[in-house]
C-alpha cells in the first residue's frame, strides 16, 4: 500500500509539473563499575566511615549524522534559512545540516516525493499548505508526533497553525513558515488623496471607494492588486465562513467536490471582474508579481501574504500600513483567515540517526529565540504562544504594529470547519485550475459563472481521479 501511495502522489505531481513546464537520541548516562576501596592504613585518626569513591557517569558521544533540508525559500528568505542552519550546527557540532534551495513550492514537493520513491530522500522537506493532503496520503513521511517524547509542548503551537497540520488530533509535520494574507496600503498616497488613514478599509466596497479616489486624484493608475489570487479566493471563502469543499473542507474525510461555482463564489468573482473593468483591480499574476508595482506606487492597496512583509518594509519608499482582509457587504457569518506558508516534513527512508538529528533540528527551530528571529526577519508568524508573549513583553508589536496585524486577524476569527483550512487531494493542480479561472474572469472578461462551472468540473475530476487511485 505504501508503494502504491507513493506512485499515486508522485505520478500526479510529476504530471502537474510537466504541465507547469542526526544523530541518534542522546543515550542515558551509564555509570562504570566503582573501583575497589583503598586498603586500610595505620594512620591514626583515619576515618573509617568514608564511602568508596565512584566514577562520574560517562555520557555517550552523540552519533554524527548528516541531514539534508530541501526548501523553497529563495532570495533573502534563503539567506535567513542558511543562517538558521549555521546556528544549529554551532549548537550541534555532531550534525551536518545541508540546507538546499530546491525550486518552487510545487517543484520541491514533486522532487522530494520522487527522491523518496527512488530511495534517496532528503531528510527534511518544506511543503506548502496545499501539499498537505498529498503528503498525508503518500506513505512517504514519518509523522512528527511520533518523534516527540514530551520535549515539545504541542499546546504551545498557535492553534490555527496546529489545527491546519493535524489529523485526528495528531500533528504530522513541524510548523515553520506559517502565514496568512492581509491588506498592505500606501499611507502617503491615501493621505494625498484626502483619505483618513486612521480608518483603513474593512470591506471590498471601501477598498473600491478609496481606490477610485486615488485614481481620480491622478496619484496612481490602479487601485489594488493581489498576490496568489487563487489563495485569496480561498481566504475570502474562509473569512465569510463558507465551505470551499465537501466533507467539511476535507477535514471529515477525503473531499470529492469543490464549491467554486456556488452563489458565493460567483458573487466574489463578479465583484472582482467589475473592479477590473473599472481599472481598480490590477491583475498581478499568480504569485508574488504584484509586489513590485505596489512598491513602485502603481496602486495604493496590495492583498498579499504576511511573508512579504519584511521585504516590503525594507524596500518601500513610502509609509506602509496593514489591515485585515476585506469582507463583502451583506449578512455573512464571521469566519477567519486561514494558514498558508509551509511546514517541515520528515521523510521515510531516512536512517534512525538522521531522524533523530531531524528531531533535534525541529526542537531547535521551535525555541523562542529561533521562532522570534524567523518572524522578525521574514514576517512569517511566530509559531508558538511563548514566542508571541515574549514579543509582546519586549514591546515589539508596539514598535512594529504591521507585524501584529495578521496575527491579530487569525486569532480573532471564528473556529469553524470552513475557517480551519482546506485539505484536497492534488490541491496543487486544483489551485492552478482556480488561478486560470480567475485570470480568465479579470483579464479576459469571461463570464464568472461560466469560468467557475468549468473550474468546478475540472477540479472535481481531479478529486475523483485521486480518490479512485487511493482505493
Convert the pLDDT of each residue in 297-356 to its tens digit.
999 999 999 999 989 999 999 999 999 999 999 999 999 999 999 999 999 999 999 999
pLDDT, position 57? 54
* CA distance linking residue 371 with residue 374, whole number of Å: 5
Q: For cell 536512517, name the residue.
A: 351
Q: Which residues are registered as beta bridge partners of 174?
A: 344
Domain residues for the domain of 139 are 2-25+62-178+340-394
- Tell me, yes or no, whether 149 and 87 share the same domain: yes
pLDDT, position 22? 35
Q: Are 418 and 244 in contact (CB under 8 A)?
A: yes
Terminal Cα-to-Cα distance of the chain (whole angstroms): 10
- Tell me, yes or no, whether 14 and 129 share the same domain: yes
Of 351, 373, 394, the last residue of a domain is 394
Is residue 416 in some structural domain? no
- Tell me, yes or no, whether 195 and 279 share the same domain: yes
Is residue 32 in some structural domain? no
Task: Map residue 340 onto helix, strand or coil.
Answer: strand
- Tell me, yes or no, whether 276 and 385 share the same domain: no
Is residue 42 in some structural domain? no
Is residue 385 in some structural domain? yes
Number of domains in the chain: 2
- Tell me, yes or no, whether 312 and 436 share the same domain: yes
What is 249-260 written as a DSSP string?
Answer: HHTSS----B-T
pLDDT, position 20? 42
* CA distance linking residue 389 with residue 31, whole number of Å: 41
Q: Which residues are registered as beta bridge partners of 95?
A: 65
What is 343-362 written as a DSSP string?
Answer: EEEEETT--HHHHHHHHHHH
Of 394, 409, 440, the last residue of a domain is 394
Nearby residues of 468 by Cβ (< 8 Å), 6 or more positions away: none
- Tell me, yes or no, whether 302 and 377 share the same domain: no
* CA distance linking residue 327 with residue 335, whole number of Å: 10
pLDDT, position 469? 87
Is residue 14 in some structural domain? yes
Task: Map residue 63 onto helix, strand or coil.
Answer: coil
- Tell me, yes or no, whether 72 and 165 share the same domain: yes
Angle formed at CA 200 by CA 187 and CA 243, multiple of 5 degrees: 125
The DSSP call for residue 155 is G
Is residue 389 in some structural domain? yes
pLDDT, position 4? 52
Q: Are 101 and 74 in contact (CB under 8 A)?
A: yes
| Residue 82, number of CB atoms within 10 A of its CB | 14
Nearest to 121 by CA among 342, 365, 346: 346
What CATH number is given to the structural domain containing 225?
A: 3.40.190.10
pLDDT, position 5? 54
Is residue 50 in some structural domain? no
- Tell me, yes or no, whether 127 and 217 share the same domain: no
pLDDT, position 60? 59
- Tell me, yes or no, whether 164 and 200 share the same domain: no
Q: Which residues are registered as beta bridge partners of 67?
A: 97
Q: What is the tens place of the pLDDT at every residue in 251-301?
A: 999 999 999 999 999 999 999 999 999 999 999 999 889 999 999 999 999
- Tell me, yes or no, whether 363 and 431 share the same domain: no
| Residue 295, number of CB atoms within 10 A of its CB | 18
pLDDT, position 122? 98
- Tell me, yes or no, whether 122 and 70 share the same domain: yes
- Tell me, yes or no, whether 266 and 302 share the same domain: yes
Is residue 420 in some structural domain? no
The whole-angstrom distance between residue 102's C-alpha and the CA centroid of its chain comes to 17
- Ranges of residues in the chain with a pLDDT under 50 are 1, 7, 14-55
Amino acid at each position: 500500500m505504501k508503494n502504491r501511495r507513493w506512485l499515486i502522489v508522485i505520478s500526479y505531481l510529476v504530471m502537474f509539473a510537466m504541465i507547469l513546464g542526526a544523530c541518534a537520541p542522546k543515550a542515558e548516562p551509564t555509570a562504570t563499575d566503582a573501583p575497589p576501596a583503598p586498603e586500610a592504613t595505620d594512620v591514626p585518626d583515619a576515618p573509617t566511615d568514608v564511602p568508596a569513591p565512584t566514577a562520574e557517569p560517562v555520557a555517550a558521544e552523540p552519533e554524527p549524522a548528516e541531514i539534508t533540508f530541501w526548501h523553497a525559500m529563495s532570495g533573502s528568505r534563503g539567506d535567513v534559512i542558511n543562517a538558521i542552519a549555521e546556528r544549529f550546527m554551532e549548537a550541534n557540532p555532531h550534525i551536518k545540516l545541508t540546507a538546499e534551495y530546491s525550486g518552487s513550492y510545487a517543484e520541491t514537493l514533486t522532487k522530494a516525493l520522487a527522491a523518496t520513491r527512488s530511495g534517496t530522500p532528503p531528510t527534511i522537506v518544506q511543503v506548502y499548505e496545499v501539499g498537505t493532503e498529498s503528503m498525508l496520503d503518500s506513505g512517504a513521511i514519518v509523522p512528527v508526533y511520533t518523534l516527540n517524547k514530551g520535549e515539545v509542548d504541542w499546546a504551545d503551537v498557535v492553534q490555527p497553525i496546529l489545527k491546519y497540520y493535524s489529523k485526528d488530533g495528531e500533528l504530522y509535520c513541524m510548523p515553520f513558515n506559517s502565514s496568512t494574507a492581509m491588506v498592505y496600503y500606501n499611507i502617503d498616497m491615501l493621505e494625498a488623496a484626502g483619505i483618513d488613514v486612521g480608518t483603513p478599509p474593512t470591506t471590498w466596497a471601501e477598498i473600491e471607494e478609496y481606490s477610485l479616489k486615488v485614481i481620480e486624484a491622478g496619484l496612481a493608475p490602479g487601485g489594488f492588486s493581489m498576490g496568489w489570487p487563487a489563495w485569496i479566493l480561498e481566504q475570502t471563502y474562509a473569512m465569510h465562513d463558507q465551505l470551499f469543499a465537501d466533507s467539511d473542507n476535507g477535514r471529515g474525510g477525503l473531499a470529492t467536490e469543490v464549491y467554486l461555482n456556488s452563489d458565493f463564489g460567483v458573487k466574489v468573482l463578479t465583484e472582482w471582474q467589475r473592479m477590473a473593468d473599472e481599472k481598480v483591480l490590477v491583475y498581478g499574476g499568480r504569485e508574488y508579481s504584484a509586489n513590485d508595482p505596489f512598491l513602485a506606487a502603481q496602486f495604493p492597496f496590495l492583498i498579499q501574504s504576511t511573508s512579504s512583509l519584511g521585504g516590503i518594509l525594507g524596500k518601500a519608499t513610502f509609509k506602509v500600513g496593514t489591515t485585515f482582509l476585506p469582507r463583502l457587504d451583506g449578512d455573512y457569518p464571521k469566519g477567519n483567515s486561514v494558514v498558508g506558508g509551509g511546514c517541515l516534513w520528515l521523510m521515510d527512508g531516512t536512517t534512525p540517526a538522521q531522524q533523530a538529528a531531524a528531531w533535534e533540528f525541529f526542537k531547535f527551530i521551535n525555541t523562542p529565540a529561533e521562532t522570534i528571529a524567523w518572524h522578525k526577519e521574514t514576517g512569517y508568524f511566530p509559531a508558538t504562544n511563548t514566542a508571541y508573549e515574549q514579543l509582546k513583553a519586549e514591546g515589539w508589536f508596539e514598535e512594529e504594529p504591521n507585524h501584529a496585524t495578521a496575527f491579530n486577524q487569525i486569532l480573532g476569527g471564528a473556529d469553524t470547519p470552513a475557517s480551519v483550512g482546506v485539505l484536497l487531494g492534488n490541491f496543487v493542480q486544483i489551485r492552478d485550475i482556480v488561478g486560470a479561472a480567475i485570470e480568465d474572469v479579470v483579464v479576459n472578461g469571461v463570464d464568472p459563472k461560466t469560468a467557475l462551472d468549468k473550474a468546478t468540473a475540472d477540479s472535481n475530476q481531479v478529486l475523483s481521479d485521486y480518490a479512485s487511485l487511493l482505493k
